[in-house]
Amino acid sequence: MTLLNCRFHLVIAILIASYATTSIAQKWENSVVRIFASKKQIDESSPWQYEEIRQQTYHGIVVEGNAVLTTAFAVQDAVQLELLRFGENQKFPLTVRFVDYESNLALLSPEDPAGTAGLSAVKFVDELPLDSTVTILRARDNNQLISIAATLQEVGIHSSVTSEYSFATYLLKTQQSALGWSEPLIRSGSVVALGSGQDNQFFHAIPGSIINHFLDDYKSGAYKGFPAIGIQLDRLNSPEMRKMIGAEAVKDGIRISKVEPGSDFTTLLQKDDVLLAVDGVRINENGFFNHPLWGSVHLKYLINRRFAGDKVKLDILRQGKGLVIEGQLPKFNSNAYRIASFRVHNEEPHVIFGGFVFRELSTPFLKQWGSDWRSTAPYPMLYEYSFRNDFVVDPGRQRIIIISRVLADEFNRGYDIRNAIVTAINGVPVQSMADVEAALKAPVSRGGVQYARIVLDYGEGEVVLSYDKLDEAHKRIAATYNVPRTLSFFAK
């Protein structure tokens, strides 16, 4: 074959591949839509106001019931949502039908049925084999979808950008960057996943099994949600640890290091129990089981597949004695911890006292420090997040209170405090904004003068402020810092 013929055949091959890729994308333009979100986020440093409205674009895919499926991240903080079909100019307003921040999934509905009229609903394939090549569908513009190739490298257990719930996530390799905006993933003519993010190594996607769980749960009419056992686990690789807890006779199993309150398992399980199997599926010393398609996968995926309220059987070893226990799985709630993961409503409770801004420590607050916030946020807060973020029975009254900043004024001269954790006010321990309000209403009196004494953690010392001329200070601070809401300020 001559060099000319080789070049000719190469050009033909490229054209055929390009045509095939284009035709695949065009086929799905009858099921995939663009979602335009106008977002108004709270200014974390000044929780009485909002950032400028930002416009972001996501993908949605039509599912049964005239609904559009997308990620919860797409609708988070949105004040307006609109749908645009490919090849058309008219945008249709969308309303949020249902959102589950734990699974990072949401269902939207067009206010006008014409928004999805004639579009084809899709179904999701549950599980995708490793090393599968898939097609990522991404909008090039308002008129066209394009196809991007990716390969499924592994399946990991990750928490989503919207919650602390850990669930199975596809990790894919692709040459394309700037992905993770709810793109559908296609294989062999079926939808297999929904894009949820991208880091330096992988494109992340929510598997069809998690999406089907969400959709089936919603269609039931009584959404149960995703469950968790409520335990913390520790690898059982040490022979001495095995000997101490009576597990030297077994090779597998993982140690239960903590049992959280709030479920059947609170009384059924104990620290140093060894978890051997979940519903008959054996668990190794690292907490993994052998999945037929994915290989070694963490046992959390076995729980992902269940619904809150389902019963589960656990094989355990307690001081050398084998036991089988059965309990009901509680619904996982990321906000039932000392540090809340997300806001249900787009507002942040706070109190300004003499320029000191009191509020709860939350994951949205920590995310001010960017994508690497787990290493760049202030150390005391990261310590609280990593080691003291316990499950609590009454989360509304068991939070971590911080002073996020001081609005400088002559009233608070001498104080320059940021991101300090508060332990007590006027001799009263504080764990909620209600505690802050109540404690500030009980000042300390010295020599006929009323003072507020605020004790800070991590060696930050103590703040002392007078109540004298507090109202005048608040008026100045409101004017200087443009705080329009009088409710932001403490009132005696």
pLDDT, one tens digit per residue, over 184-243 is: 999 999 999 999 999 989 999 999 999 999 999 999 999 999 999 999 999 998 999 999
Partners of 275 in beta bridges? 254, 316
Which residue, 296, 328, 360, sits at the end of a domain?
Answer: 328
Question: How many angstroms separate the CA atoms of 234 and 254, rounded?
Answer: 6
Are the CB atoms for 468 and 349 separated by under 8 Å?
no
In terms of Cβ atoms closer than 10 Å to its own Cβ (0-12, 13-18, 19+), residue 265 is buried
Whether residues 177 and 235 fall in one domain: no
Domain contains 344: no
Count of residues in the chain: 492
Torsion of CA 127, 305, 307, 116, to 10 degrees: -10
Question: How many angstroms separate the CA atoms of 295 and 131, rounded?
Answer: 12
What's 318's domain CATH number? 2.30.42.10
Q: Please give the tally of structural domains in the chain.
A: 3
Whether residues 141 and 84 fall in one domain: yes
Structure-token match 């640890």, residue found: 241
Domain contains 2: no
Whether residues 310 and 444 fall in one domain: no
Write down the pLDDT at residue 16.
38
Write down the pLDDT at residue 219.
96
CA nearest neighbour of 30 among 101, 95, 121, 152 = 121
Write down the pLDDT at residue 395.
82
Which residue, 223, 245, 279, sits at the end of a domain?
Answer: 223
Element at 20 (helix H, strand E): helix 3-27
Domain contains 11: no
Write down the pLDDT at residue 457.
97
Question: How many angstroms separate the CA atoms of 405 and 365, rounded?
Answer: 12
Q: How far is CA 97 from the centre of its chain?
A: 19
Question: How many angstroms separate the CA atoms of 489 and 352, rounded?
Answer: 5
Q: Which residues fall within 8 angstroms of residue 323, CB to CB, at 6 or more apart?
A: 315, 316, 317
Whether residues 133 and 272 fall in one domain: no
Q: Which residues fall within 8 angstroms of residue 229, CB to CB, at 6 or more apart?
A: 263, 265, 303, 312, 314, 329
Write down the pLDDT at residue 15.
37
Write down the pLDDT at residue 397.
87
Are the CB atoms for 222 and 210 separated by under 8 Å?
no
Domain contains 340: no
36: left (phi over 0), alpha (psi -120 to 50) or beta: beta
Whether residues 116 and 188 fall in one domain: yes
Structural domain range at position 369: 350-488
Q: Which residues fall within 8 angstroms of residue 395, CB to CB, at 6 or more apart?
A: 333, 335, 336, 337, 338, 340
Whether residues 43 and 154 fall in one domain: yes
Which residue, 169, 198, 223, sits at the end of a domain?
Answer: 223
Low-confidence ranges of the chain (pLDDT < 50): 3-4, 8-21
Domain contains 336: no
Domain contains 94: yes
Write down the pLDDT at residue 14.
38
Q: What are phi and psi of 87, to 5 degrees?
A: 85, 5
Whether residues 200 and 296 fall in one domain: no
Whether residues 190 and 239 fall in one domain: no
Whether residues 41 and 183 fall in one domain: yes
Domain contains 31: yes
Domain contains 484: yes
Whether residues 185 and 259 fall in one domain: no
Are the CB atoms for 83 and 115 separated by under 8 Å?
yes
**Token duo for residue 231:** 């335990």
Whether residues 54 and 115 fall in one domain: yes
Question: How many angstroms separate the CA atoms of 298 and 294, rounded?
Answer: 11
What's 433's domain CATH number? 3.20.190.20
Question: How many angstroms separate the CA atoms of 73 and 181, rounded?
Answer: 9
Question: How many angstroms separate the CA atoms of 172 and 180, rounded?
Answer: 11
The dihedral built from the CA positions of residue 356, 359, 360 and 362, taken in this order, carries a sign that is: negative
Question: How many angstroms separate the CA atoms of 40 and 24, rounded?
Answer: 36
CB burial string 302-318: b at 16+ within 10 A, e below: bbbbbbbeeebebbbbb
Structure-token match 């709270």, residue found: 42
The dihedral built from the CA positions of residue 103, 206, 209 and 113, taken in this order, carries a sign that is: positive
Whether residues 159 and 289 fall in one domain: no
